[in-house]
Structures are given as C-alpha cells and as structure tokens.
Structure 1
Amino acid sequence: MNVNKLIAILVFSVLISCSGDENYVEVPDENSEGIVDSLVIQQIFGSNIDLDNLANYANQNIPDYITKDNTNTNVITDAKATLGRVLFYDKNLSVDNTIACASCHQQAFAFGDNNNVSIGVNGVTGRHSMRLINTRFARETRFFWDERANTLEEQTTQPIQDHAEMGFSGQNGDPALADLLTKLEALDYYQELFQFVYGNTTITEARLQESMAQFIRSIQSFDAKYDVGRSVVQNDNQQFPNFTALENEGKDLFFRSPNQNGAGCITCHAAPEFDIDPMSLNNGVIGIFADATATDLTVTRAPTLRDIFNSSGIINGALMHDASMATAIDAIEHYNDIDATGNTNLDNRLRGGPGGNGQNLNLTIAEIQALEAFIKTLSGTSVYTDAKWSNPFIN
C-alpha cells in the first residue's frame, strides 16, 4: 500500500469516528480530491479498478494489416474507457436495477448473447443482440441491425431509453433519461469517477455516450489463428502455414468469387477485419422472432465475422437478427441457396445471375465444411478472459 492510500484510510477512519455513523462519508471539497475517492472506489470495485494504475485501453497492440478505424474525434483514453466499463456493467442504468448493457452483451459470448432474444426489464427485446467485437475496426459506422443509430455514441444510450430493454423511455409512465442522470448523480462512485475523468461531477448523456463508446471500441480481438497466419504472409491469397488443408481450402473459397467457383464472402465481409460493407442491403433473412407470418426487410447490418465461435470452437449463440440459424453451417447453407422472392431490399450481390431470382453457389457439403473451418480460425482468446473488459463490481 502506498503512502497516499494509507493517509486516505486514516482520514476516512477519523471521519467515521467523528460522525458516529459507519455509513457516513464526507463529500470531498476541491482541496481533498482523491482522498475519499479512492476509498469509495475500493469499497465498490476492490482491486478491479485502481485509479493510480489504470488498465491499458488506449495503447493496445493493433496488427499492421488492420487499417480501418472509425474512432474519429472520440479518441480512447484509459480514464474514460474505465468509466465506460463501469457504466457498461452497472445495472443501475435500468429502471429496476436488474439489467446492464453487459446483460445482453456478455464477455463469455464475445460480448453477445447466447439467448435467442435478450431479456429486458419489460420482457424480451425485438432482436438477437449483436456481438460487440472490433466495432472500432469497421467501415460501417451506423449501429443496430437496421442501422437506425448514426454512430456508436448514439447507440449506447438508445437501449437505456427503450421501454422493453432498460426502461428509461420517458413514455407511458416510464421515467426519462433525465431521471437516470439524477439517479447516477446520487451514487458516490459516479461522483468520484466523473470528478476523476472530467474534473467535475456533472453527469450528462453526452458523457455517458462518450465513455461507453470508448470502452466498447476498446474491445478488440486480434489473437486468432487467422492473425497468427496473416502476420507471416504478404497477403490473404497465400497459403497460411499454420492452417490445416481444410482451413486453407475454406479461406480460398471465402476469397474466391462465385464466377470462379468460390463463395465470394469477401465482397461483403472484407478481410482482415471481416466487417460488413456499409453499402450492404438485406441478406435474405427477413424473419421476426417468434412470428412465422411476419417479415422484416429493414435489417441490413451485421457484426464482424470474428468470434462467431469461442476459442474452443463453440458457437457464441444463434446467428442472424432473428436467431433463426443455430449453426454456422446453417448460415453458409442459407447463402448457398437464396430465394429472392418477395424481397425488395435484397442485396444485389445475392440476387444471382440473369433473372435475379437468388444466389445459388452450388457448394458441396465438403466445401461448406471447409468454409466453417476457416470461419473458426477468426476466433481469438483474450477477449473472453482479459480482466480490463470484465465486470468491475465486486460480486
């Protein structure tokens, strides 16, 4: 324990003894900043957060071949990402203190959900929760399956203001976002964290958005088998020396266009980030969860193909917005034979040849299995275990 923390503990003990109330904590004035702060932070977070030794969010290693970056002006700092981590995991951001962002975006599942449809404070949400892997390294900067949020910053507070998800909608009897800000201002640890990060205790929606977006953008996965192979070759078209024959075959199919007997996945999911082309339209999946008669043509976004599986090869929950595909094989088979009937928003790259009746790749079972093997090489390890992305609250 350093001298400053020892002094802080002694001061804290004196304050308690003078107050006669063991729950009493004096609000620090401008000249005592950091003394009571660290005590309250330790009480809530233990060793998970140390304001004197912040986790590294700002200067993580990024491979040289990764070129996309949608950070723009909201540059990641260790302090703001730390605040974002607390907000991301805090159930106080829901009206009944039962749901956090992390409830639907779980580290164990690549910051996605293994439930088909996530549970909110007022029932189920409308769509399967999207994985939040490598959101910083994507050409598509709009968010949600239907791209209704213009930026990641805007996206972060929309679930909070959704009646079903976290409940601060301000409509039909729900409290509003302003009520959440008041709620957070009453929590000692946010007084201290905002003072530490911003130099004052003012809590605003813009600050919530800024810090949560920084934390989410910090979540990266570049230690996959693919990355090991890519780092020792000049480009993706070469055989990766660490791949099996099946994995190299799957990679070749992934990159080769349909008119060359490939699958052409690369046209919508460009390597090495494997993010979605922002110009993509609907992918042929138009279902609505639990309603076999309804259709949804507005879904045009998708997460990166990285970490569909965990490091043990187990899928991180069902695929597609309606969780209609339980396996990667199901998804590949969907792209192998797409029916364009009635889909006025189907991406032109999936309409097939003359007539535009839908794509038919004529992939064999062996080729489909090879594609699955390649997709598994896109899964990392540290994203599931790194403490800086874990729940900071003491359980």
Structure 2
Amino acid sequence: MHLPSTRIEKTYPHFRKPFRISFVKFVHSIKNLIRSLLVMSHRIAKLTALTPLFTLLIIRILQSCTITAPDPITDNKADQVTLQIYFGQNILLHDLPDYANPEIPDYIPLPDPSIADITDIGATLGRVLFYDKQLSVDNSISCSSCHKQELAFSDVNIASVGVDGTTGRHSMRLVNALYGEDQQFFWDERASSLEDQSTQPIQDHIEMGFSGVDGAPGIQDLISKMEQIPYYPILFDRTFNSEEITEERMQMALAQFIRSIHSFDSRYDEGRGQVGNHIQPFPNFTQEENDGKLLFTTPPVFDPQSRRIDGGLGCAGCHRPPVFDIDPNSLNNAMIHQISGMGPDLTNTRSPSLRDLLGADGSANGPFMHSGFSTEFIDVLAHYNMIGMQMMNNNMDPRLRPGGRPQRLMITQSEAAAVEAFILTLTGENLYSDPKWSNPFVGVAAGK
C-alpha cells in the first residue's frame, strides 16, 4: 500500500502525525523495516558469509547507528539509512539541493513553461540515473562517462567509449539545454524532446547496451534490474508517489536533471548586466574582447565572388546571443565528414550552446563539432573562413553560400584572436564545481 508522503503532508495538513491512526504508523514502520533488511542483506551478502541470524543482528545495529545527520521525518528514517549506504551525505532527503529555483539573469529569455517544471526530488533522481553505471548491461558506463562535469558535460575523446565499441559522433555538451529555442536533440535532431533523447543511449547497442537486439537485454530487463537496486524504489516513490519504475518516469527525471544544468556566471554575463543590450561595449571587457564581440555579432558584407569586404563574421546569425543557442532553422555547417571516415554525413544540423565551449584556461572542453575534428579554436575559424564547394551537400545552410557561392570570410590574424578572446568570456565558473551536478556516488564505498 502507498501511504501519505511528506509532500502530501505539506499540502494537506490533516495528514500530519498527530492525526494519523496508529495502524497506519504500524504498517509504515513494518514497510520501512522490511526495506531496510532487504537493503542491508543486499550489501552484507557481498561482504560476509555470516549466519543469517547474526546477519540480521548486524542489520539492526547498522540501521540504528548509520544516520549521522538527523532526519526530522522519522517515518522515513529507514529510507535515509538506505540512501546513506550508497550516497553518504551526498543525498539527504530533508535537505535536497535547489534545482527548482535557479538564479537566471533577466536578459535570458524565459524557457517554455511546458518543459520548465523541475522539482528538487525529480532532478535528484535524474542525477542518480545520470551517474549510475548499473544502467549499462555490464555496469561499466553511465551517461556521465561521456558527459563529464569538468568538461561542461562533454567528453575528451573524439568518439566516446561504450559497452560494445565507440560512438559514431562526438558527445555534445549539455549546458543550458532548457534555454535554447531548438528543443530537438542529438546532432541530427532525431529526438523530438529531451525526454525522448534521454533513454536512447541506454538502449543503444554500442553505448549502454540495453538494445533488445541480437540477444541483448532490453529496457524492461533494465527496469527489472533497477527494481532490485534498493535506492530506486525509494527515489521513484519520493518523486512520483509510487515505487513503479517505467521508461517514461526515467525520461522525466533525467530530463529534469539535464535541464537544471546552466551556466550564466561568465564575464559575458557580468558585462551584459551592466549595459542595455548585447551590442553596446561591455565595460568589463578589454578592447580586444569587445572587438571580438562585434565581429561575432555583425553580419558580413560580400562581393559578387562571396568574399567578405566589410562587416563582421556573422556568427550570431546561427549562434544567437545571449544564450548562444543554435537557430532552429539552421542546416548543416559544411562539416560533413564522419569520425569513421565513411562517406559524407549531411544530417548534422544541431549545435550545443557556445557557452563554455572553452575551459577557464582557454583549452577546449572536448573536441569540436559532431566529428571532433579539432581541439584548436583557430581550426574552427579556418573552417568557416573558406567553405569548400561540396556540390553533393544539398543540406548546407544558405548563410554559408552567399549568392550561391561558398563564403570567403578573409579573416585576419588579429580578428581571429579577437573572436577567440570573446568566446572565452562565455565560460562560467559554477558549472564545473557545483555539487548538485556532481557524481552522488563519489566518496562512498558502495559507489559505482
């Protein structure tokens, strides 16, 4: 039976303890006792060959002594005991991180309210799912294996390593997904929503392996596996008022966690907050950085041969400030080769936000673009500086072919340095160190 949760108590005061009947308290206590016994036996079975009677005695001793931070919700003390076994102090049910109320600058467009509903417990469950290697068939790969916090949730590898090979495209950064207008995901935009995207790697035969093809287990096998992992019934119950685990619920929680990841504390944000619009010079920028911002923003002027003769580089036409998200109408950027080297790939029309493209030291947060073709920003500018003819590319963005000819931006060395200096101002700080986006298993013996 499902008993009133803490959320229900807050909403309906008549469910508070003084008004509960003793039978409800008794059943709830039995439920928590059984859950605790199952949890501890799950752990102890791996550590000892003690007799069942002595094992049960140890379970009860551990249950009474494990809590180091008091939980005011005594009916749910057993749940916190269970979570501490796996997460230590990283997840405290009575003191969850604030995911629901981020501090976002007022010049950032409000996200679509239909996708912006984030709860603290929902994002917490998503965080656990994101970092849990048990969501792969051999317990070796998690979402975080390819999307690392220290790299703005990207990967240092050109192709990320999965359970049965490597990925066909580079792992995209996950910064500010909620605030971009384009809400289709993957480089080729095959996922219609972040929810749709979130479990596709889990069900990919190469990435995490629960594909259900060639004899591999499928998503229902994963759900059965998760039902035996003690912390999941607790977290799903807290999030959805039911211990039932479904793919849809996994998607909702993962999407909440990913949408919570944001970066708006860069030098760009400091400067943007001091002026009326993006175009004005920022008082905290150097002259070179302001020059780079102007070059990034101003559209180029071309001659009949598609050579730039005036204006800027026009980067903002596709990568739009202040979020620096991709224009949803963009087509491919003429980078059409595949990591595998096989044939042209014309389908890549998506890009992550350009925020945190570079780390604080100026190095790349992983290789650039879907092909991971370089980690040097000057190579990105060189690509756009002189687009090839690519006669077979019928999906190239027309902004790269002014007058029907591939563009020639004629970028000078000083212009390239200025644009790179500006791109570095888009790098934040909190993204890389905030504990609420970190691995909850770290530092715990039971961690994955």
TM-score normalised by L of structure 2:
0.81
DSSP 3-state at the match of 1:283? coil
DSSP 3-state at the match of 1:85? helix
- Structure 2 residue aligned with 1:327: 376
- Structure 1 residue aligned with 2:22: none
1:369 Cα deviation after fit: 1.1
1:290 Cα deviation after fit: 3.5
DSSP 3-state at the match of 1:57? coil
TM-score normalised by L of structure 1:
0.92
Conserved? CA contact 1:71–1:136, under 8 Å: no
DSSP 3-state at the match of 2:179? coil
Range moving further from structure 2, 64-73 or 102-111: 64-73
Conserved? CA contact 2:266–2:429, under 8 Å: yes
1:265 and 2:311 aligned:
no
DSSP 3-state at the match of 2:281? coil
Task: Tell me which of 51, 54, 72 is aligned to 2:96.
Answer: 54
Task: Tell me which of 308, 313, 317 is aligned to 2:362.
Answer: 313
- Structure 2 residue aligned with 1:274: 324
1:71 Cα deviation after fit: 5.2
- Structure 1 residue aligned with 2:26: none
1:21 and 2:21 aligned:
no
- Structure 1 residue aligned with 2:19: none
Conserved? CA contact 1:310–1:379, under 8 Å: yes
- Structure 2 residue aligned with 1:250: 292
Q: Deviations over 1:319-346 (max 9, x none)?
A: 0101112211111111111113221110
Gaps of 5+ in 2: 1-28, 41-50, 63-72, 302-309, 444-448
Task: Tell me which of 286, 307, 313 is aligned to 2:336.
Answer: 286
Conserved? CA contact 1:284–1:340, under 8 Å: no
Q: Deviations over 1:334-383 (max 9, x none)?
A: 1111113221110011112x3x2211111111101111110110000110
Runs of 4+ in 1 over 4 A off after TM superposition: 14-19, 22-26
1:222 and 2:264 aligned:
yes
Q: Which amino acid aligns with 2:316?
A: I
Aligned pairs (5 A) from 1:141-152: 141-152=183-194
CA–CA distance in 2 between the matches of 1:71 and 1:285? 34
1:364 and 2:416 aligned:
no
Aligned pairs (5 A) from 1:86-101: 86-101=128-143
CA–CA distance in 2 between the matches of 1:235 and 1:301? 26
1:374 and 2:422 aligned:
yes
CA–CA distance in 1 between the matches of 2:246 and 2:294? 49
1:391 and 2:433 aligned:
no
CA–CA distance in 1 between the matches of 2:416 and 2:223? 50
- Structure 2 residue aligned with 1:106: 148
- Structure 1 residue aligned with 2:399: 349
Q: How has the CA–CA distance of structure 1 residues 74 and 270 changed in structure 2, closer, same or farther, with 3 Å as cutoff?
A: closer
Identity %: 50
Alignment RMSD (CA, Å): 2.2
Q: Which amino acid aligns with 1:330?
A: D
Conserved? CA contact 1:340–1:351, under 8 Å: no
- Structure 2 residue aligned with 1:184: 226
DSSP 3-state at the match of 2:337? coil
Q: Which amino acid aligns with 1:20?
A: F
CA–CA distance in 2 between the matches of 1:99 and 1:288? 23
Conserved? CA contact 1:44–1:394, under 8 Å: no
CA–CA distance in 1 between the matches of 2:116 and 2:134? 25
1:390 Cα deviation after fit: 0.2
CA–CA distance in 2 between the matches of 1:117 and 1:102? 14
Gaps of 5+ in 1: 1-7
